[in-house]
Amino acid sequence: PAAPRINPSILAADFVNMQAELARIATADFAHVDVMDNHFVPNLTFGPQMVERIQATSPIPLDVHLMITDPERWAPGYAELGAASVTFHLEATTDPVGLARTLRGIGARAGVAIKPGTAGEPLYDILDEFDQILVMTVEPGFGGQGFMPETMPKLRALADEAKRRGSDVWLQVDGGISDATIGQAAAAGADTFVAGSAVYGAHDIEAAVTRLRGLARA
């Protein structure tokens, strides 16, 4: 899908009505799937067995965001079950390039995520190893938190660096993205936008996705 991409986070969906909740986001670009292990983050969601069913049910491709320790052990399985992209945290691995190559070898887009306090510079020389970089705009772990504008200079610097190197890496933001904040993130260089509460909290989800896309373009 072309930029700007809107990826609703199913963390904000009704977990026991997942089939219907996935159908509601059919006009969005990717279903963003937050896997949490109560170790890397202080919250727990679901694992590969659930995501396999989500993959089989979703009308749109999956964008899996792993907020887990030991991603070497788990990330390949999400690529194998058919997720379009698998993103692990830079803070959780000592070999981000090796893991990205493994994911690409299985056929998934490889993503690396950084928390608000993690610098972007270590990624500059390895940008080509990734298909997408996720700049967290809240501390990972929970939906419904406030957007952190102080992460925007880091995003802008990553966007400048990608441009300078002629890289086509996607730049994603996640956390507190809404009608009020998506414009700032787009202006700083994001092309892919995760939104949980702003999408699932809307009365008309299709209209909310269209509106967010328009605001990201403006």
Q: Under the rule (CB under 5 A), what is the footprint of Zn ion?
A: 34, 65, 174
DSSP, collapsed to helix, strand or coil, labels residue 155 as: helix
111 binds, among Zn ion, ligand DX5, none (CB under 5 to 8 A by kind): none
CA distances from 134 to 51, 53, 65, 137, 205 (A): 20, 25, 9, 9, 23
Q: Which helix (H) or strand (E) holds 170?
A: strand 170-174
Interface ranges with ligand DX5 (CB under 6 A): 9, 11-12, 32, 34, 65, 138, 140-145, 174-177, 194-198
Interatomic CA distance for residues 101 and 121, integer angstroms: 20
Annotated binding-site ranges:
9, 32, 34, 65, 141-144, 174-176, 196-197
Catalytic residue at 125?
no
Pick between residue 40 and residue 130 the one whose CB is nearest to ligand DX5: 40
Pick between residue 38 and residue 128 the one whose CB is nearest to Zn ion: 38
Catalytic residue at 160?
no
- State the nearest-atom distance from the C-beta of 163 to ligand DX5, in Å: 26
The set of catalytic residues is: 34, 174
